Structure formats: C-alpha cells, structure tokens
Amino acid sequence: MITVIDYGMGNLRSVVKAIEIYTRDVKIARNVSEIKGAKALILPGDGAFGAAMENLKSGGWIDPIKEHIASGGYFLGICLGYQLLFSSSEEFGSHEGLNIIPGRVVRFPDGELKVPHMGWNAVQFTRESKFMRGISNGAHFYFIHTFYPVPESREVILGEAEYGKPFACVIERGNMIATQFHPEKSHSAGLKIIENFVRESQ
C-alpha cells in the first residue's frame, strides 16, 4: 500500500491521481493509525514550514515518519514535504524540521531573479538512481518555491537545478527520495519518477 499523508498542507488529489495511473493500491491517511503496514509513504505539501511542522507534531506524525524511513521503508517527499526532512528553516523566523537530513532551508536572495522561483527548470543528476530510470539528464521539471534546502553533505544530493546558482532539488538516501519540484505536475519526466517509485515499492 502506498499511503499519502494528509497533515493539512496542500491539495493531495493531484498526487493521488498521478499514482493511480500506475496502481490502485493507494490511499490518503488522515490519522497516524492509517499508515500502519504501509510499504511506502508520500509526504507532499504546500505552504509555510513552521505551520507544517506544527501540524505534523499535533497529528502525531513525526515519530512514525522517522521510524518508517529508518526501517528502510519507501518514502517520497514533495516540495514542502522535501524541505521538512531537513534540520531547520529560516522561513518566517527559525523553525526546527524533522532533522532526517542534516541541513537548513534558506531563502533565494532578492536580486535580478524573480522570487519565488516558478516554472520549468532543467535538473542535472549527480549519479544513477533506481528512481530516475528512463529520465534523461537535463530533463525539465516544474518548480514553485521561495526557499530551498542546503544539505550539510553532498552525498545525499541526487539532482541539482540552477536559479542564480546551483541548488539541491533532489535528494536520495536508501529507499527515501525527495524533490523540490512537483513530479505530479511535471508531465512525462515527473510521472516517470512516480512510476519508478511505485514499481520499486510494490
């Protein structure tokens, strides 16, 4: 079962619809008890980092998410669900994250480039991955974000995009993958990531 976590941050329907192209074995979990026995978890999200962490805490999601990842369970984080994996964020103050990946989430600087970063951008992959099979280096994906993570170690970085300077937009560790872009909104390349995730986790 692939389980999409509903913690009150963003519309999950587009993610579920993308998964349903490849499997009907998917559900939305609105409380912690519903993720018991899940082979794969997906943490999407739109909105503010601090509010998202409060929702994860109040819903009792934090320990189950950490335990799932630590046990080798499949995990996909999308957009805000990617940023939450890091240690902290400077969005609207200073907020602690899940600290699964050491690093911090910072804001794009004001300058010549428009902020937020919104639209299609090429991604350069740093190595091969089971989650990126069939996707060409330099494939384009859809972004919309003002903040981005800076991992402490480059070892977790799977892909980088450039917006003023290169930034980590895909991370991978074991059976965990997370993307700053929205694969469910990124046409064939994004759907291929979802297909690979579904196939690997079944």
Give the side-chain half-sphere CA count within 13 A for 197. 34
30, 53, 171, 177: CA torsion to nearest 10: -10
User: Coil, strand, or helix at residue 150?
Assistant: strand
pLDDT for res 202:
87
On whether the CB atoms of residues 38 and 5 are closer than 8 A, the answer is no
The pLDDT assigned to 36 comes to 84
Angle between helices 49-58 and 62-70 (to 10 degrees): 90
Show pLDDT as tens, one digit a residue, over the chain (202 residues): 999 999 999 889 999 999 999 999 999 999 999 998 899 999 999 999 999 999 999 999 999 999 999 999 999 999 999 999 999 999 999 999 999 999 999 999 988 889 999 999 999 999 999 999 999 999 999 999 999 999 999 999 999 999 999 999 999 999 999 999 999 999 999 999 999 999 999 8
| pLDDT for residue 116 | 95
132 contact partners, CB below 8 Å, separation of at least 6? 125, 158, 159, 193, 196
Q: Whole-model pTM?
A: 0.96
Dihedral of alpha carbons 29, 38, 158, 61, sign: positive
Write down the residue that tokens 């909104």 correspond to: 185
Confirm whether 140 is a catalytic residue: no
Eight-class DSSP state of 164: S
Say which of 79, 91, 95, 117 is annotated catalytic.
79
CA distances (Å), 43 to each of 4, 35, 155, 184, in order? Answer: 6, 12, 22, 13
State both tokens at 48: 């503010």
Residue 184 among the catalytic residues: yes
| Selected catalytic residue, list 95, 117, 145, 182 | 182
Sequence ranges of the domains in the chain = 2-201
Point out the catalytic residue in the list 91, 172, 184, 195: 184
Active site residue 169: no
The CATH number of the structural domain formed by 2-201 is 3.40.50.880
As a whole number of Å, the CA-based R_g of the chain is: 16
pLDDT of the residue at 112: 80
